[in-house]
C-alpha cells in the first residue's frame, strides 16, 4: 500500500489503511486476552474488562512506562499524539511488545480548530471515523451522567420550593435547602459552545424547574470525566461519583450526588465507559483509547485503568499527557502517578521547529490562516531564541527526577541546519535527542526515537513528586507556579482567597492534589507571553473542589471551561460520500 502524506490528507490515509486492519479478535489474542474479558464492537473495535483481566494476570507491573509530553504549543498543536503513535510504531519495528494509551478525541476540537486527536500522516490511530465520531460512546455516557446530576439538582430545588416538609417526607425526602447562589455543577456538552457558558434556566411557571443562573462546560472538563480517568475500577468509580459536590445548602453544608440519590444511576450510565476501547495503529500495534483531553482545564490524561492494564500486558507502554509539560506532564507527574502507583521509566518531550520559531518571535500561528513564510524557510536566529522555551520544559521534566528524551517531530520543511541547532541545544542541556520522521515514514521514521527511548528506559531515574500533600494547599500552588511555570508567585483574588482558606481548614480537602486550570499557550497565565516569560505572577480568580475526582482546581487568568468555536472550524470541511456512506474531511 503506497501512502504518501505529502500527497494525501490524513482521512484519506486512514481510509486506505482500514483495508488492512487486524480484526479485534486478532488484537485480543496478541494481548493474551481470554473469552469473556473483551467484547467486540463490530469487526475492529473492542471493549476490555480490565477488572477481569487483572484478576487473572495480576496487577503487578511488567512493562516499561513512557510518557509523551511537549513544549508550549502553537494553535495548531505540535504533533504530540502523532509522536506517541510514531513511537509505538517504531518500538513495534524493533520487535517490542508495545501498547499505546491515548485519550479519546473530544467533539469540541474535532469539529473546531485542532481536529481529531488521532495522530497524522503514517502515525495514526485507526479507524479514524470511529475514533473521531463518538467511538464506543464513552463521552456520550459521561455527558448523560453529568446532566442527570443536573436534572436531579434542578428538580429537587423545584420540589423543595413548591412543597412543605411533610410532602417531602411522604416521598422519603428531607429538605436539602440548596442555596441557588452556590450551585457548583453545570451542564455538559461535547462541543465548543461559547453561547452556553452562562445561561438562565427554569423560565416559565412553577412546574418548569427552578429559576437560577447556570451554564455549560465542555464534557471533557466535567468532574465526571476526571473521575473516569482517575478511577481504579468500577467500585472505585461508584464511590467517587457519590462524592461529587453539586451545590451548598444555605447553612454552608455540601450537597452531593449521594444526597440527591442520583449517584447510582450515574454509575449505571458509565458501566461500559469504565472499560477502555481497543484500537490499533496504522501498523497494527494495539492502542487503548480511554478518557479525554484538555489538560489546560481538566486532568488531560488517558485513564489509570488503561495504563495499569497496558503495564500488566505489554513490555513497553507509551502513554500521553495533554498539551505541554507545564500542563499535562505536571498533572501526570503529581496527580496521575500518585493515583496509579506507576512511575515513568522515560519521558519524551516533543518539539517542532515551527513552535520554537513562534517562541522566538515569529508572526503568530493562527488556525485557518496560511503560515508566514518564516516557518517554512531557514531562520536560525529565531529558532535559537525560541529554544529558551525548550530549555524551560527540559528543566520541568528534570525537576521530577527524570532526564527527558527530546524528540524533534520532523516537518519536511525543516532544514538540516535547523535540526542540528535544536540537537545542540538539547544535548548541551543534558537531554537525549532524537529526530523522528514518523509522519512521513511511520515506524521506520521513528527508529532513532525508539532506540533512544529503549536506552532511556534502562537508565535509573530519581522520580519524585513536587510536593508533599501535607503541605498547605496555598503553599503547593505557590511552589508549582515558581518551580514549574517559572513565575514569581500567586495573586489570590478575594473569592479564591476565601475558598482556599476554607479548603485548607477541612482536613480531608486540604490533602487533595492541585490541578491548576490555565492557558496552554504560555508557561504563564497570559497566552501572549511566549518563550520563557519571567517577572510575572499567576492571578487565581476562583478555586473549585472536585471531591469525587479528588482534586483542588485553581482557575487562573481568563481560562474558560467551555471553549469557543473559531471562525474557520473543521466542520466546514467534513462531509459524507452519499454513495458509500464514508465520512471525508476529518483530520
Q: What residues are annotated to the active site?
A: 80, 82, 103, 114, 295, 323, 411, 439
> What is the rounded CA–CA span in Å between residue 488 and residue 466?
17
> What is the rounded CA–CA span in Å between residue 326 and residue 72?
8
The answer to whether 519 and 74 are in contact (CB under 8 A) is no
> What is the rounded CA–CA span in Å between residue 478 and residue 329?
18
The answer to whether 546 and 223 are in contact (CB under 8 A) is yes
> What is the rounded CA–CA span in Å between residue 226 and residue 91?
30
Cis geometry, peptide bond prior to residue 517 (ω within 30 degrees of 0): no
> What is the rounded CA–CA span in Å between residue 476 and residue 478?
5
> What is the rounded CA–CA span in Å between residue 224 and residue 142?
6
DSSP assignment of 238-279, as one string?
Answer: HHHHTT-EEEEETTS-EEETTTTT-HHHHHHHTTTTTSPEEE
Locate 188 and state its grid cell. Answer: 455538559
289 DSSP assignment? E
> What is the rounded CA–CA span in Å between residue 319 and residue 310?
9
> Quick one: three-class SS letters along 389-441?
HHHHHHHHHHHCCCCCEEEEECCCCCCHHHHHHHHHHHHHCCCEEEEECHHHH
The answer to whether 351 and 320 are in contact (CB under 8 A) is no
Place of cell 500518585: 338
The answer to whether 82 and 63 are in contact (CB under 8 A) is no
> What is the rounded CA–CA span in Å between residue 97 and residue 318?
11
Helix axes 416-428, 380-399, angle to 10 degrees: 30
> What is the rounded CA–CA span in Å between residue 313 and residue 50?
11
* Short-list 343, 292, 324, 331, CA closest to 139: 292
> What is the rounded CA–CA span in Å between residue 110 and residue 177?
41
Amino acid at each position: 500500500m503506497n501512502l504518501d502524506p505529502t500527497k494525501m490528507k490524513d482521512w484519506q490515509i486512514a481510509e486506505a489503511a482500514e483495508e488492512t486492519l487486524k480484526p479485534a479478535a486478532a488484537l485480543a489474542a496478541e494481548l493474551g486476552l481470554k473469552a469473556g474479558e473483551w467484547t467486540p464492537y463490530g469487526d475492529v473495535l473492542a471493549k476490555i474488562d480490565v477488572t477481569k483481566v487483572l484478576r487473572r494476570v495480576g496487577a503487578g507491573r511488567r512493562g516499561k512506562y513512557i510518557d509523551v509530553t511537549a513544549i508550549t504549543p502553537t494553535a495548531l498543536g505540535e504533533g504530540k499524539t502523532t509522536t506517541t503513535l510514531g513511537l509505538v510504531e517504531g518500538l513495534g519495528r524493533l520487535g517490542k511488545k508495545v501498547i499505546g494509551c491515548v485519550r479519546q478525541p473530544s467533539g469540541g476540537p474535532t469539529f473546531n480548530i485542532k481536529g481529531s486527536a488521532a495522530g497524522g500522516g503514517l502515525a495514526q490511530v485507526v479507524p479514524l471515523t470511529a475514533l473521531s465520531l463518538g467511538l464506543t460512546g464513552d463521552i456520550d455516557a459521561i455527558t448523560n451522567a453529568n446532566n442527570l446530576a443536573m436534572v436531579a439538582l434542578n428538580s429537587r430545588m423545584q420540589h423543595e420550593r413548591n412543597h412543605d416538609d411533610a410532602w417531602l417526607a411522604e416521598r422519603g425526602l428531607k429538605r436539602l435547602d440548596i442555596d441557588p447562589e452556590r450551585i457548583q455543577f453545570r451542564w455538559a456538552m461535547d462541543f465548543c459552545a461559547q453561547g452556553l457558558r452562562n445561561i438562565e434556566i427554569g423560565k416559565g411557571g412553577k412546574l418548569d424547574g427552578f429559576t437560577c443562573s447556570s451554564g455549560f462546560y465542555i464534557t471533557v472538563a466535567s468532574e465526571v470525566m476526571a473521575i473516569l480517568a482517575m478511577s481504579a475500577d468500577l467500585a472505585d468509580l461508584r464511590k467517587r461519583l457519590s462524592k461529587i459536590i453539586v451545590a451548598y445548602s444555605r447553612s454552608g453544608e455540601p450537597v452531593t450526588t449521594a444526597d440527591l440519590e442520583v449517584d447510582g444511576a450515574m454509575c449505571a450510565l458509565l458501566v461500559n465507559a469504565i472499560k477502555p476501547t481497543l484500537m490499533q495503529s496504522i501498523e497494527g500495534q494495539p492502542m487503548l483509547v480511554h478518557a479525554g483531553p484538555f489538560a489546560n482545564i481538566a486532568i488531560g490524561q488517558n485513564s489509570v485503568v488503561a495504563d495499569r492494564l497496558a503495564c500488566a500486558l505489554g513490555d513497553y507502554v507509551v502513554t500521553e499527557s495533554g498539551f505541554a509539560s507545564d500542563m499535562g506532564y505536571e498533572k501526570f507527574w503529581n496527580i496521575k502517578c500518585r493515583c496509579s502507583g506507576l512511575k515513568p521509566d522515560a519521558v519524551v518531550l516533543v518539539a517542532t521547529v515551527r513552535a520554537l520559531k513562534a517562541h522566538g518571535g515569529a508572526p503568530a500561528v493562527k488556525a485557518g490562516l496560511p503560515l508566514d513564510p518564516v516557518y517554512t524557510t531557514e531562520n536560525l536566529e529565531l529558532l535559537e531564541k525560541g529554544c529558551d522555551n525548550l530549555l524551560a520544559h527540559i528543566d520541568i521534566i528534570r525537576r521530577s527526577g527524570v532526564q527527558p528524551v527530546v524528540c524533534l517531530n520532523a516537518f519536511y520543511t525543516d532544514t538540516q541546519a535547523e535540526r542540528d541547532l535544536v540537537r545542540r541545544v538539547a544535548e548541551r542541556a543534558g537531554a537525549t535527542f532524537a529526530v523522528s520522521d514518523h509522519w512521513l515514514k511511520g515506524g521506520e521514521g521513528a527508529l532513532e526515537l525508539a532506540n533512544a527511548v529503549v536506552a532511556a528506559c534502562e537508565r535509573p531515574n530519581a522520580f519524585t513528586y513536587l510536593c508533599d500533600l501535607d503541605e498547605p494547599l496555598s503553599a503547593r500552588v505557590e511552589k508549582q507556579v515558581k518551580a514549574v511555570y517559572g513565575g514569581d508567585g500567586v495573586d489570590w483574588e478575594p473569592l479564591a482567597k476565601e475558598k482556599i482558606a476554607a479548603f485548607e481548614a477541612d482536613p480531608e480537602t486540604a490533602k487533595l492534589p492541585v490541578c491548576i486550570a490555565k492557558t496552554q499557550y504560555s508557561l504563564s497565565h497570559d497566552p501572549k507571553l511566549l518563550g520563557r516569560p519571567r517577572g510575572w505572577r499567576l492571578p487565581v480568580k476562583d478555586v473549585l473542589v472536585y471531591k469525587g475526582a479528588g482534586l483542588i482546581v485553581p482557575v487562573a487568568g481568563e481560562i474558560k471551561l467551555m471553549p469557543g468555536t473559531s471562525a474557520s472550524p473543521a466542520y466546514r470541511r467534513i462531509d459524507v460520500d452519499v454513495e458509500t456512506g464514508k465520512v471525508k474531511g476529518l483530520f
